[in-house]
Structure 1
Amino acid sequence: MNTKHKMMLDGIQQAIVSGDPTLALARIEALSKRFERDGVDADTRPRIEQTLLHLRRLAEDSARGTQRAIDQIRDILQNARTLQTYDKAGQRRTTPTNAALAQRF
């Protein structure tokens, strides 16, 4: 595998791990253009395909983890909106919260 290709693949992995989808996509597009320009020889193709499969699984796992975190935060916010507290006189008070759910795309 070409050293430049290896560096670009490592950069894609770093972007995925750091949670930066914009950077990951930009690096994937740059790698694609580089492969179109340089070509891929038959000897290194299986290794590159294996690395790309690893990156795909990493990205899919990251997306699933992010979705689970979003669901957990949504549940926490929903529960926080229904908390009931008691004042010094023992009176129960409901304190609604108007926190907006964060969204990440």
Structure 2
Amino acid sequence: MKILIIVSLIFAGIFGAQFVHSTEVSTENRAVQLQGIDQKTQVAEQSTNSKLDVNEATAEQLVAVKGIGPSKAAAIIQYRREIGGFKTIDELIEVKGIGQKALAKLKLVLKV
């Protein structure tokens, strides 16, 4: 009888420890997963917030954008003055020197 009780306690100790360990690991994994989701959300929010407003940007700010040189920056500002501001980012296609490919890239960094 004593042997049965001892064996039972040993099994309970072994399997109980494995259960606790597996719970700790899955809790850690869940925390890492949630942290990853939070980081992706923050990156998306920063991406949206870091876009340059084409209606407020100076020539210097526009030139800092990859794909916009001094002449395109001047053309954007001149067109912006003529139309009273961009209503959509797609209107950039009307600016001389900006085609479909350039517009697609600029949409990633500019906003209205």
Bin the TM-score by the shorter chain.
0.3 to 0.5
Point out the structure with the larger helix share: 2
* Structure whose CA Rg is larger: 2
TM-score, scaled to structure 1: 0.45
TM-score, scaled to structure 2: 0.42
Name which structure has the greater RCO, CA cutoff 8 Å, separation 6+.
2
